[in-house]
Structure 1
Amino acid sequence: MTTQMTQPTQSRPEVEHNNPPTGFTLIRMIARREIVTQFQRKELWISLTLMVVVFSASLGVQTLFSADARPSRLGVVGTQPEFTAALRAQADARGSVIEAVPYGTADVALTAVREGEVDAALLNGQDVVVLEKIPDSLAAPLREAHRAVALAERLRSRGLGEPEVSAVLNVAPPTVRALEPDAERTAQRTTTAAIGVMVLFFLMFMFGQGIAQGVLEEKSNRIVEILLAKVKAWHLLAGKVLGIGVVALTQITAIVAGGLTVALLVGLVDAPADAIGMGALVIAWFVPGYFLFATLWAVAGSLISRQEDIQHAAGPVSFLQTISLLAALVPFSGVNDTLTRILSLVPGLSSSVMPVRMATEQVPWWEITVAVVLTLVAIVALLRIGARIYSGGLLQHGGIVKARAAMRDAREGGMS
C-alpha cells in the first residue's frame, strides 16, 4: 500500500484578500456599539420616562395659572336684563367672557363675593362690591355697560322712544388696521423656539456629563487601549459622539413630542403647525451644536482619571455652553441687529441663535447656508484636533492631563 504524502497547505492570508474596513465603516461600528450599550441601560429608560413626565406636566400646570382659566363672574341682584345685555356686548367686543350670576338678595350676593364664587356683585345698578380689587378683565366692560344703561335712561327721560334710543347708542366701532397682523403668531413662534433652545441646551449638560463619564470608564478599564490599537483616535471619537448622539436625539425627540402634545391639548399654542414646525427647526439646529459640544465633552473626559475631576476638566466646556445658551436671548435684548446676525453665523452659537432668529424674522437663505457650512467645517476641524487631544489623554493616567501635553504626546507617539 502506497502512502500518499500530502503537502502542507499554506494558510491563505484572508486579511490581505479582504478589503480593510473604511473609516466610515469603523465609525459606524463604534457608533452601533455605543447605541446598543446605551439602550441596554435601564437607567436611560427610567430617566427618559421621568423627563417626559416632568416636562409635559410642567406645561400642563401652566393652564392652572392662566388668566383665562375661567371667565369673570359678576353677581347681579334682581333682574337687570338691560344691564346684562350691555355687559355681554362689551365683553364680546373685547373678546372676553363675563358670566352674569343672578341673586335674589344683596346679602346672598355679598356672601358669594366673600366666598369667592363671583369676582364682584352689582347690588342696585349703581353699587359694585368686590372683596379686594375688581379684576382688570371685568373693570372696563362693567364701566362701559353702566355708562350705556345710564345714557339710555337719560335719552328716554327726554322723550325719545326705543327706536331713537337704539339709533343713538348703535355706534359703529372704528375700523382697525393692523400694521403687523402676524405679530401674535410671530411672538408665539419666537417663544416656542426660545423655550425649546433652553430646554435642549440644559439637556445637553446632562448628556455631556454622560459622555465624559463613559470615556472615563473606558479609560479606567483600559478598554480604550485595545481599541486604539485597532482604530484611529478620530474614528473612535467620531463613533462615540455619533452613537451617543443618536441616543440623545431619540430622548430629545420623545421629550419634545410629549411637550408639544400636552401644549396642543391644553391650548397653550394657537397654531399647531407653527409649534410643530418650530420644534422640528430647533431640533434640526440642535444636532450640529450637539456634535460640537459632545466632542468637547468627550475630550474633557479623556483628560481625567478620576470621577471627581469631571467638573473641573469640563469647566471650559460648560462655560462655552452657557455662552451659547445666553446668546439665544440676544434677539430679545433689543441690541443692534447686526450683532444678532453675526452671532447666528458663529459655530456653536448658531445652534441657539439661528432658530430664534428664524422664528422672529425672514432670514436670507444664504445666511442659513453660511451658518450650516461653517458649523460643519468646525465639526470636522474639532474632530481632527480633538482626536489628538483625545488619544494623548486616554493613554495617560493620574491627575488631570493638560490639553497641550496630550497633543504633544499624541504627536510624538504618531497617534491621530
Structure 2
Amino acid sequence: MITPSRIALPGQVWGLAAHDSAGPLYVTSYGSEILETALSAIDQAGATLWRRTFPGTGHPRSRMSSQGVLWLARPGEEDPVLELVDPEGATLDVLAPECLAGEEIGAFVVLDDGFCISWVAARPVLRGEAPYREPRVARYGSDAGCLWSTPITLGPVSHPGVLELGVETGWETRPKRPWVPESVDVAHWEPLLVSGDRVAAGFQDPRGGIGVTFLLDLATGAVVSSTMPLPAGRNAIVGPGEFLIGAQGYGEFSTARYDRDGVQAARWSSHGAMVVGPSGEIRGPELENRLPSRSRFRELTGTGELADGPALTGYHTSYPAIDSAGTAVFWRDGRLTAVDSRMDEEEYFATTDSQDVLSRTLLLDSGTVAVALHSELWLFRTPLGPLAASAWPCGDGNLPGNPVFPLR
C-alpha cells in the first residue's frame, strides 16, 4: 500500500492547478478566515513555497493560463476583478472587465488573447440596491475590453421527474408544471468550457437543479443551439467543438455527445466523471445520487453502448485523471483506486477516514497523484505514467485547470 504525504491547508480546497507535470501545485481554498480566500504554492515534496490571501470568499474561481500565470476572480472595491499572480506569488495586474450593476463572475476561462466570462446576478448581500440581472456570456480581449456580450434566457423549465402536490387531487402528486426560475446561476459542475470555436455555457435553477447548456460561437457570441432543460450533471470536452453533456437526478441518468453544430450525435444511459483516454476512449466512474451504490466504472462506446468495469462502493468521488496507457485513477469511498484499459482494478491506498469534499485528481511527474480532501492535500507516488495527451484527461481538462481545448 502506498503511504501518502498529507499537507494541511487553510480552509476548504476548491481549486487545484499546475502549469506542467513538474509542478508546483497552486491550491485555492477558503474558510479558515471569514471573507478571505487563500492561494498556496506547494511543491511535489509537500513543502509550501508561499501563501497569499485575498479578499472575498464563496466558491473562488482560479484559472492558470498556458503561460504559467494564475488568474483569480474576486470582488473588487466596486466591481469584480481578475487578479494576475505570477509563479512567485506577486500580483502582476488587476483587470476589471466591463460589467453591469449587480453582476458577479459566475465562471471564467483564460483564452490566448483574453477571457470568456459567464455573468450572473450577484448575491443580494453584494448586489445592494442594484436590480436583479439575467445571466449573460461575454468575451473580452487581453485588456478586459468587451468584444461581445450575449444575454441568456433560461425561460420556463420543467422535467417529468419533478413532482408537486396536486391541489385538485389532495395528496396525490403529479409532474410539476413548467416554471420560471426566480434566479439563475451557473451550472454547479463545468459551467464554462471552450473547445475550438465553440463555447459550452451551463446555467441552472439553483433551487431545483434543472439546467440548460448553451452552445455559442466563440468569434461572435451567437447562440448555436441549447439543450433541453435537464437535471444538471457533469460536462466535458471530447474534441474540437464537441462536448459531453451529462444529466443526473429526478430519474434522469444520461450523457449525450454534441457536435459543433449543436446536434446530438450519441447518447448513453450513464452519467459520471468521464475522461478521454489516449485513443479517444471515454471512460470514468459513474456518479448517481443513490446509496447503496449501483454505480460502476464505465466506458461509453459507439453511439449508446456501455462497457462494464468494476462495481463501485460509496458515493463521494474525485474527478479522475487518466495516464498515457489508459489507466484512470481517482478517490472514492476512502480509497485511491486505479482502473486500467482492460477494466482491471487496483487499490493503491485505503482508509476509514471519510471525506466528502474532494478536488479533482491530478497526475504529475514520476506518477505523483495529487488530490485534496476537504482541507488537506494528499500526494501519492504511484507507478502510473504521464497524463494522457487528450481533449479531457482530467477534471477541468488539463493540469492548469483551464477548460480550453486546445490549450496553447
- Give the structure-1-normalised TM-score: 0.24
Q: Indicate the structure (1 or 2) with the bigger Cα radius of gyration.
A: 1
Greater strand percent: which structure? 2
Greater helix percent: which structure? 1
- Give the structure-2-normalised TM-score: 0.25
